[in-house]
Amino acid sequence: CRSTLLCVKEVQSARIESESRSMLSSGVRPPAFSTAVRSLQRRSGGGVRDFQEIPNTGSNGWINLLRFWKDGRFSLLHKHMENTFRRLGPIYRESLGSQSSVNIMLPMDIGELFRSEGLHPRRMTLQPWATHRETRRHSKGVFLKNGTEWRSDRLLLNKEVMVASAVRRFLPLLDDVARDFCHSLRQRVETEGVGERDQRSMTLDPSPDLFRFALEASCHVLYGERIGLFSSSPSEEAERFIWAVERMLATTPPLLYLPPRLLLALRAPLWTQHATAWDHIFSHAEARIQRGYQRLQTAVGGASDGRFQGVLGQLMEAGQLSSELIKANITELMAGGVDTTAVPLQFALFELARNPDVQERVRAQVLSSWEQASGDPQKALQGAPLLKGVVKETLRLYPVGITVQRYPVRDIVLQNYRVPAGTLVQVCLYPLGRSPEVFECPERFEPSRWAASGEGFRSLAFGFGSRQCVGRRIAENEMQLLLLHILRNFRLTVSSTEELNTKYTLILLPESPPRITFTTRSL
């Protein structure tokens, strides 16, 4: 009812106000951008300036797009944003092809944006994904929906993947996969590594193994079944699925700025690759969903025996979403749950390896908590908050998605400029996470910086509020549990402590995966 919605809105607004006050009390310094920008703001005489006066990178979106393609800037979009903020100040407008946005990076502006997101927050639609669903006559999941339809589906999904009771159900499944991964890796290091019996070492690129871990974990939580990816010869089906997700992600950014239906009509190779990748992702999900339905139907009385049947089984038993909507949302969760977990784990292992003091501090807390928890994964994580700090610190430096987007439902003022309702506003996470105006010594990897309260819109890798990432709890716990078991089993080192070069597809990736030395330690 309307009164309930207004109450929700008031609670959300109060929470944002509280976070804004916390940010101010935490001592965040005012921005120290270029003299030219400060001079421009002084000349405004203190009045709110017009939208058209916001600094911009060029008014012609198609010329800008051609320059991006010519200069190869899509793969360095995160660096482009960082450099543009340095040049133009803490807010700027940008047009690329058919898309225009206002870009911001300071917590005070971010708070104002979220305060104006409304009861049905909207983010930028990934039109290539939406066009694929429409042309293939697939239902859309919550990632691609908006309005009341989005809200009703999202509230049903939250019960199975976001609330505390759901986390308690799937945490043991994630722990099983994390333990098996470390057992498999330890056997490999002990067999193929070098050194003394109790300290065998092996240097490798862990990225292929981490992708298999993320897929195995996602399947176990979503479908309630294991697919055996830690064997010496992983299935061809799994390898094809990982390839399809990577191809889908790589082909999305160039398609964002062009009309997909035009590319479809022209049978453009780029669109064909994108659609084919999605077709394989859907066929992989559909096969496993069918098996899930068969398991549910063969259970006594059509119900499970009390064991957790995965998110799919929970949704089917609840019967509140149609089979088509279940398929759409499970497929989106699967497609978004592999690279977006495996890649941050690469960065986390690298940072722990090149910061041995930090590694030892986190390990000491992990070992103490593990002993006290007596093998209970939930208690072990609760007793080792530095693990959560490692994940947050990794995503501060290497955000998986480099922007969070909203369309304000009313006119707002950002940096003394009026921004009309309905404008696409992007929070740029890479510049935010590396800004000395927001973080003390931002170049340092310091998980303990998150122990203090009053973060105030500084940690937004999973988004914010009711439209935050629906798979957030799965991803956070999946990463923390794997890091916990890796730190119990291994010491991590790297031969070079230099910064990793990064590139952007639809997610932020290392330009070359880091090679890490795993040395066994006594359990």
Return binding residues for heme.
469
User: What whole-number distance in Å separates Cα of residue 432 and Cα of residue 442?
Assistant: 10
Strands 412-414 and 417-419 come out as: antiparallel
In what order do the strands lie in the sheet containing 516-520?
A: 201-204, 516-520, 490-493
* Residue-level length of the chain: 523
User: What whole-number distance in Å separates Cα of residue 229 and Cα of residue 350?
Assistant: 23
Contact status, residue 328 vs residue 139, Cβ threshold 8 Å:
yes
User: What whole-number distance in Å separates Cα of residue 318 and Cα of residue 314?
Assistant: 6
User: What whole-number distance in Å separates Cα of residue 228 and Cα of residue 220?
Assistant: 10
Q: How many other C-beta atoms lie within 10 A of the C-beta of residue 32?
A: 9
Residue with tokens 């007793």: 383
State the binding site: 469
Q: At 474, which helix (H) or strand (E)? A: helix 472-489
| Residue 93 φ/ψ, nearest 5 degrees | -100, 145
Residue with tokens 């453009």: 268
What Å distances lie between residue 468 and 143, 166, 313, 406, CA to CA?
A: 10, 17, 23, 11
User: What whole-number distance in Å separates Cα of residue 247 and Cα of residue 335?
Assistant: 11
Please provide the DSSP assignment of 358-424 as one string.
HHHHHHHHHHHHHHHHTT-HHHHHHT-HHHHHHHHHHHHHS-SSSEEEE--SS-EEETTEEE-TT--
User: What whole-number distance in Å separates Cα of residue 217 and Cα of residue 221?
Assistant: 6
Residue 90, token pair as written in the block: 């803490």
Q: How many other C-beta atoms lie within 10 A of the C-beta of residue 285?
A: 22
Residue with tokens 């070098």: 194
At residue 94, the 3 state secondary structure works out as: strand
Give, as one character, the DSSP assignment of residue 144.
Answer: G
Burial of 70 (0-12, 13-18, 19+ CB in 10 A): exposed
Tell me how far apart the terminal alpha carbons of the chain are, to the nearest angstrom.
56
- Per-residue burial over 286-313, b if 16 or more Cβ lie within 10 Å, else e, is eebbeebeebbeeeeeeebeeebbbbbb
Residue 376, token pair as written in the block: 């209970």
| Residue 461 φ/ψ, nearest 5 degrees | -60, -30
